Structure 1
Amino acid sequence: MPDEPIAAIANAEPHHEKEAAAYRAAPHHHVVSPDNQAPLLTSAWYSTSDLAACLRVDASTLRRWRTAQPPQGPPFVTASERVVMYSALDVEEWLHRRRTVPTKGPNGR
């Protein structure tokens, strides 16, 4: 892969044309419902291979995270035996929770 900054997950388009068309048609705004759950049907969705490419990890890493006990990694939806999808909103929240912001120590370093 070229050495370029990782695009924001919410702005990254899927690699497959059929998924890309659905992604472009979906609204990309964050609306929260009364139960504080974002409406998943209006968010972008990623397949295992698409999310692996966005995160720059192997798809087997996502599979390993899903099958760990307890499951690890970003939240996922098992749509069928062979289809696992990740909501872009869930992935964004997962990344924010894992984010480390370095702070200056007591001596200013």
Structure 2
Amino acid sequence: MHARSHIPATNRLSNPTPAIAACPAHEPDPATEFDLLHSGWYSTEELASLLKVDPSTLRRWRSATPPQGPPFVQIAPRLYLYSIPDTQLWLAQKRTDPSEAA
């Protein structure tokens, strides 16, 4: 049997408060802040396909000391994501710095 909430129905959030972002004082300034959650993310397989490398190459780059390749975020033990803007910046730097070795 599932436990029921001990909060009376009248105290539950029937009319939730607006999000902080809805308050003009807390609106992010596009010139100074970047919303990472809406910028997009690549999985290892997606990025490998775009870079035309095997996913094992990205895994090897991540485990190198120091790590190579585009910046990544470890979400779970076997789940890594790559921010699209960070990946684009990494690619731009690779194009302008021929001494960078992949």
- Range into which the TM-score falls when normalised by the shorter chain: 0.5 to 0.7
* Alignment equivalent of 1:97, drawn from 71, 80, 93: 93
The answer on 1:58 being equivalent to 2:57 is no
Query: What is the TM-score with the length of structure 1 in the denominator?
Result: 0.58
Percent of aligned positions with the same letter in both sequences?
53
- In 1, distance between residues paired with 2:38 and 2:63? 27
2:78 matched to which residue of 1? 82
- Tell me which structure has the larger Cα radius of gyration: 2
What is the number of residues matched between the two proteins?
A: 68
- In 2, distance between residues paired with 1:86 and 1:98? 16
- In 2, distance between residues paired with 1:32 and 1:76? 24
Gaps of 5+ in 1: 1-30, 102-109
Gaps of 5+ in 2: 1-29, 98-102
Query: What is the TM-score with the length of structure 2 in the denominator?
Result: 0.61
1:27 matched to which residue of 2? none
Which structure has more relative contact order (CA 8 Å, sep 6+)? It is: 1
Instruction: Give runs of aligned pairs for residues 1-109 of structure 1, distance below 5 A.
Output: 31-34=30-33, 38-100=34-96
Task: Please list the CA deviations of residues 21-76 of structure 1 after superposition, one character each: whole Å capped at 9, or x if unmatched.
Answer: xxxxxxxxxx4535xxx321111111000100000000000000000000000000
| Matched-pair contact (CA < 8 Å) for 1:33–1:39 | no
1:22 matched to which residue of 2? none
The residue identity in structure 2 corresponding to 1:70 is P
- The Cα RMSD (Å) is 1.7
